[in-house]
A and B are shown apart, each in its own frame.
Chain A
Amino acid sequence: MNTLTNRSYTNLFLLPAGIVYFVFFLLPTILSFFFSMTWWTLTDWKFIGLENFKTFLSEESLNIGFKNTIIYAVVTCALKVILGLLLGVFLSSRLRTVGFIRSMVFFPTLLSTVAVGIAFSTLMHPSQGMINAALAAIGIAGPDWLGDIQIALLSVALVDVWKGVGLATVIFIAGIMSIPEDYYEALMIDGGNTWNKFWNIIVPLSRPAMNTVIILAFIGGLRSFDLVWAMTKGGPGFSTDLIASIIYKQYQAGFYGLSTAGNVILFILVSLLAFPLYAYLNRKEVDL
């Protein structure tokens, strides 16, 4: 019976998805390794070996992307995990206002990144922006959020967290809700307090949810482009340039080979960090 049914599923069903995936995703990815080693005008190419990679690694306006991309990914990921977990715990309780808070926190997830970026760049305006006006009202001189090269990247990262923490929160809520009641009952009998409940039950047992948030947020952070582009275009200077925004800049400038080299570098960076992270997190998962 088993072989009979196994034969009744046709590989033809894989064909449409396979063709689209191959032609519009896999093929360009494979080609990128070749074209990253060329001087390329789309119609013509000249093989130049690893020249593009050397340029990418040696020029400061390009290699600053590594540092920025990793800082951006780590900061956004860490904040989304911490804030998402705390919000998730708070919103898993039976408070009356949970529905309202959850909706408000989650809604930005569905908004356009560019719209959010534009709105926040006006809110973060150093002299006219509402954020500094509010800070001034309580006697704090607000910084030039997007104009100061020391903090511009962190300002953009904060907006990313504002937009993305809702997704992390709902994932944590789903994880926390799936923890069986018995654990809390056992803790009550043993006389544990709220801290024990959080640290010894919720944190370890919402591990699958936490892993998902870490993976999603970290990969998302590494690949991020649109928010930075909408808010700072990589400036001031190159202080908020991420690898993905450098790829766009080189593409715009017509350096297609260099742009593709940036793509390959991002590919390698994401693979080197994300695949091992994925494997590591999946290994450490606990069973409920």
Chain B
Amino acid sequence: MSKMTNSASTVQPTLHKHSNRLAGKKAKKVLAEIVAVLLTIILFGVPLYFVFVNAAKDTQESSLLNMSWPTSFQLIENIQAVFLAENGMIIRAFMNSMIITGASIALLILFGSMAGFVLHRKVSKLSPFYNFLILAGLIIPPAIVPTIWVLESIGMFKTLPGIILVEVALHLPFTILLYKGFMATIPKQIDEAALIDGCGKFKLFFSIIFPLLKPVSATVIVLTAVGVYNDFVNPLYFFPGADNATLQLTLYNFTSLYSTQWNLLFTNILLISLPPLVLFIFFNKQIVAGMTAGSVK
């Protein structure tokens, strides 16, 4: 009996020491976590907060470019002012952005899935060549003025179809890559069974394969939405002109127009950041999945 208590009392201190060390380790971990959260807030939260508070100030106060809370909160008035600027340019720009983004998504899903399907299923001597074209499309920067020349020759320069088809062409390689990769998870036996049952080449794809591609299509939708909506360079080159503005270009026009009216500029930034924010809140998973696709074999 006495032996037992003895051994227990010798165990006790070591146990205590152990838990002390654990507690110390835990405290360190908590401290590291607090530092990380603070750093994140300073580096990533503060710039967003800065835009927000300045979007809610009057012109004079916002010209100080500081982070104090607005003395009179007039975000609504500023939004109205931005909407009325340049005869409602932002509304026209919003329409254009939505049409370009929507049409690009539709065409990319259709063309990309069809190509990805055949490129995965049909192995031919040309396969390496197709793979090279996809890689080239991912790497090579588009040739600007020759593209304008081609668009002009077929009457599509400064038109919605023109900018849409350019966006589709530039996003196709990655889209095809996504579809082609996903096709590998759909067993070939499905095709064979359908074909034996007398299913045609077109019906096989459109009524059997295409519905199975839904997860990638979701990824393509969010990725294209973010990419095309935020695109500044291509509309700048291929869709110029006041009537043709997209949301990103209104911002660019506003920088000179409102060089002293920071509040309206920041309101404009806030407004055009809303669609990505909504996407982010609802489709965070798909966006991350799409952007990391193919990175981890």
Residue positions of A touching B, CB distance < 8 A: 1, 4-6, 8-11, 13-14, 16-18, 20-21, 23-29, 31-32, 35, 40, 42, 90, 95-97, 100-101, 103-115, 118-120, 122-123, 125, 128-130, 133, 162, 167, 170-171, 173-175, 178, 208-209, 212-213, 219, 222-223, 225-226, 230, 244, 247-248, 251, 256, 259-260, 263-264, 266-267, 270-271, 274-275, 278, 285, 288
Contact = CB atoms under 8 A, between A and B. Distances in A.
B112 A5 contact: no
A130 B50 contact: yes
Contacts of B19: none
B205 to A, nearest CB: 7
The range of chain B's interface size is: 35 or more
Given A114-B252, A212-B295, A28 B165 contact: no
A90 B195 CA distance: 50
Interface of B: 29, 33, 36-37, 40-41, 43-48, 50-51, 64-67, 107, 110-112, 114-115, 117-119, 121-123, 130, 133, 135, 137-152, 154, 165-166, 168-170, 172-173, 176, 188, 191-192, 195, 201, 204-205, 226, 230, 232-233, 236-237, 247-248, 251-252, 255, 262, 265-266, 269, 272-273, 276-277, 279-280, 284, 287-288, 291-292, 294-297
Please classify the interface of chain B as helix (H, G, I), strand (E, B), loop, or mixed, using the class held by over half of its residues.
Answer: helix
Contact of A123 (B50, B121, B149, B172): B50
18 contacts: A5-B188, A18-B115, A29-B146, A32-B145, A35-B145, A42-B152, A95-B29, A97-B33, A110-B279, A112-B232, A118-B269, A133-B66, A174-B288, A208-B296, A209-B296, A212-B295, A270-B139, A270-B140
A183 B74 CA distance: 57
Given A23-B169, A208-B297, A256 B47 contact: no
B132 to A, nearest CB: 10
B111 A17 contact: yes
A247 B148 CA distance: 13
B17 to A, nearest CB: 20
A248 B141 CA distance: 13
B136 to A, nearest CB: 8
B5 to A, nearest CB: 34
Contact of A115 (B122, B149, B236, B272): B272
B176 to A, nearest CB: 7
A209 B37 CA distance: 25
A129 B146 contact: no
Contact of A35 (B37, B48, B149): B149
A123 B262 CA distance: 12
Given A110-B280, A225-B233, A119 B291 contact: no
